């Protein structure tokens, strides 16, 4: 800090403290609001703002989504073929729209799906309320507004010193327990308190910036991107566990924490290499303390230095709008195409039921009633996290309802939202590895959740 003048240090500290506090209020501080039904619910300020904007846009939202996905498809086709050699390799157009053939196909497929669903033409298999319309009307409007506010304000958490402050403080916990940097605490809190997609966005940006390795980014995205507390309440209500919600959500947290300790240490996460997308100073990654410094004092010094170098007002919004474009035109088409395909397979083929059959003996071993019925819901959660709760709703056993509901949240990776967002982000993980991680989470979580269910209901 000796290289900076007193006025620079004071200005840097003020910038770090003020901007980080705003970021904490927006992304990490729960607020209580009254929903349309007059009921109070817990949410985040950024999610509340997204909801207000979604209501304001109203009926114009479908055509906005259609235009975003269509324009993305056209630009991707042009930039991946005839314009490829003419683009600046460091430019936004090249990075967002010059893609490999598989992503080109998925974005073009998204254009087909979104128009069929919007116009309700062709086969109902694509545009039904359980497939394309589920993604188009229920999920994408939320993502459009959440991505707007999250992308605009994410720099408040990431570029003004909060991560540098928390890194050295939480390293003694995060490294030994979860094999992750201390700064990942922010990603994990944003997911647990707010929404998994926000956590994925933070993680993706940190990976692009060189602060997380390929392994660390994959671990964070596939281990801590839990659905929001609000959505967990919806799941609990669907499986008739609203009167037992505290214990229900405690079970989810316990299961997720156990999985967060185990899964980074087994294949495939263990085999992902610690390769970085960009070079940054080594001390930023290691978060080791200089001699004579405490974690708090070192973190505060690093945060102050980051505040000194942090972008000004204009650069802040310029960076934010670039991220908005990236989120809208890159991630939304992937969620539309993969989400629609996954829900079609789930609703119109027996594939997930067949794959779930081997779980019947496992469920019987764990003494879960109606094991055959429950097994049909286990793998279908990979398509959409809400499907298992809908399919198991008619079960007679509280234990079965509890296990299926809690497991569907704990499985974490589902293609209609978090999985699709991960695949559309810069985090380098394949759909095959996502499915393998999903299966591993399922196998490990089941006995934990079953034990909690038996303890509570027996």
Range from 23-27, 72-76, 130-134, 151-155 that averages highest in pLDDT: 72-76
Paired tokens of 221: 């995205």
pLDDT, average across residues 335-352: 87
Least confident window among 24-33, 48-57, 165-174, 301-310: 24-33
Exposure class string for 130-169: b at 16+ Cβ within 10 A, else e: bbbbbbbeebbbbbbbbbbbbbbbbbbbbbbbbbbbbbbb
Quote the pLDDT of residue 225: 83
Looking at the predicted structure, is the pLDDT value of residue 339 above 90?
no
User: How far apart are the C-alpha atoms of 199 and 186, rounded to whole Å?
Assistant: 8
User: Which residues lie across from 32 on neighbouring strands?
Assistant: 42
Paired tokens of 84: 């490829």
Quote the pLDDT of residue 229: 67
How do the domains of the chain map onto residue ranges?
A: 6-457
The model's confidence at residue 107, banded by pLDDT at 50, 70 and 90, is very high
Q: Which residue has the higher pLDDT, 30 or 271?
A: 271
- The three-state (H, E, C) secondary structure of 374-437, written as one string: HHHHHHHHHCCCCHHHHHHCCCCCHHHHHHHHHHHHHCCCCCCCHHHHHHHCCCCCCHHHHHHH
Paired tokens of 388: 């298992």
The phi, psi pair for 43, rounded to 5°, reads: -150, -175
User: How far apart are the C-alpha atoms of 75 and 84, rounded to whole Å?
Assistant: 11
User: How far apart are the C-alpha atoms of 235 and 230, rounded to whole Å?
Assistant: 9
pLDDT, average across residues 8-26: 90
- Decide: 78 and 65 in contact? Cβ < 8 Å: no
Dihedral of alpha carbons 419, 253, 386, 143, sign = negative
Quote the pLDDT of residue 264: 95
- Decide: 325 and 92 in contact? Cβ < 8 Å: yes
Quote the pLDDT of residue 263: 96
198-216 pLDDT per residue, tens: 788 888 888 988 889 999 9
The phi, psi pair for 374, rounded to 5°, reads: -65, -35
Q: What percent of the chain has pLDDT over 90?
A: 35
Paired tokens of 429: 């993980």
Q: Which residue has the tokens 């095959």?
A: 432
Range from 44-48, 171-175, 251-255 that averages highest in pLDDT: 251-255
pTM for the full model? 0.74
Q: What is the CA radius of gyration of the chain?
A: 22
Exposure class string for 36-45: b at 16+ Cβ within 10 A, else e: eeeeeeebbb
pLDDT, average across residues 453-457: 94
Secondary structure (DSSP) of 13-80: HHHHHHHHHHHHHHHTSEEEEE-TTS-EEEEEHHHHHHHHHHHHHGGGHHHHHHHHHHHHHHHHHHHT
């Amino acid at each position: 800090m000796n290289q900076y003048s007193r006025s620079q240090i004071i200005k840097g500290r003020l910038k770090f403290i003020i901007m980080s506090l705003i970021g904490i209020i927006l992304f990490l501080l729960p607020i209580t609001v009254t929903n349309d039904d007059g009921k109070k619910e817990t949410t985040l300020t950024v999610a509340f703002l997204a909801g207000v904007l979604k209501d304001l846009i109203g009926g114009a939202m479908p055509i906005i989504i259609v235009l975003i996905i269509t324009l993305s498809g056209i630009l991707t086709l042009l930039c991946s073929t005839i314009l490829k050699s003419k683009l600046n390799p460091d430019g936004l157009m090249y990075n967002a729209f010059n893609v490999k053939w598989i992503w080109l196909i998925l974005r073009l497929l998204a254009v087909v799906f979104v128009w069929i669903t919007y116009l309700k033409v062709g086969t109902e298999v694509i545009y039904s309320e359980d497939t394309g319309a589920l993604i188009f009307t229920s999920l994408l409007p939320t993502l459009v507004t959440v991505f707007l506010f999250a992308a605009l304000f994410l720099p408040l958490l990431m570029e003004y010193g909060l991560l540098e402050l928390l890194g050295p403080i939480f390293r003694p916990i995060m490294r030994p327990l979860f094999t992750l940097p201390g700064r990942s605490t922010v990603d994990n809190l944003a997911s647990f308190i707010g929404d998994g997609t926000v956590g994925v966005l933070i993680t993706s940006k940190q990976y692009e910036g060189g602060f997380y390795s390929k392994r660390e980014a994959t671990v964070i995205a596939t281990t801590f991107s839990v659905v929001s507390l609000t959505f967990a309440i919806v799941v609990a209500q669907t499986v008739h566990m609203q009167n037992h919600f505290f214990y229900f959500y405690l079970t989810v947290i316990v299961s997720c924490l156990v999985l967060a300790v185990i899964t980074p240490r087994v294949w495939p996460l263990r085999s992902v290499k610690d390769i970085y997308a960009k070079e940054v100073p080594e001390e930023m990654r290691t978060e080791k303390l200089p001699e004579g410094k405490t974690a708090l004092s070192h973190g505060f010094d690093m945060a102050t230095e980051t505040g000194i170098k942090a972008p000004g007002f204009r650069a802040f919004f310029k960076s934010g709008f670039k991220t908005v474009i990236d989120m809208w035109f890159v991630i939304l088409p992937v969620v539309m195409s993969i989400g629609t395909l996954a829900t079609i397979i789930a609703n119109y083929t027996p594939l997930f039921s067949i794959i779930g059959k081997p779980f019947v003996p496992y469920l019987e071993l764990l003494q879960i009633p109606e094991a055959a019925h429950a097994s049909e819901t286990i793998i279908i959660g990979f398509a959409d996290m809400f499907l298992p709760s809908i399919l198991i709703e008619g079960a007679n056993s509280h234990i079965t309802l509890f296990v299926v509901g809690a497991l569907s949240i704990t499985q974490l990776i589902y293609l209609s939202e978090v999985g699709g967002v991960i695949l559309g982000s810069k985090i380098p993980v394949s759909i095959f590895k996502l499915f393998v991680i999903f299966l591993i989470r399922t196998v490990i979580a089941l006995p934990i959740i079953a034990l909690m269910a038996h303890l509570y209901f027996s």
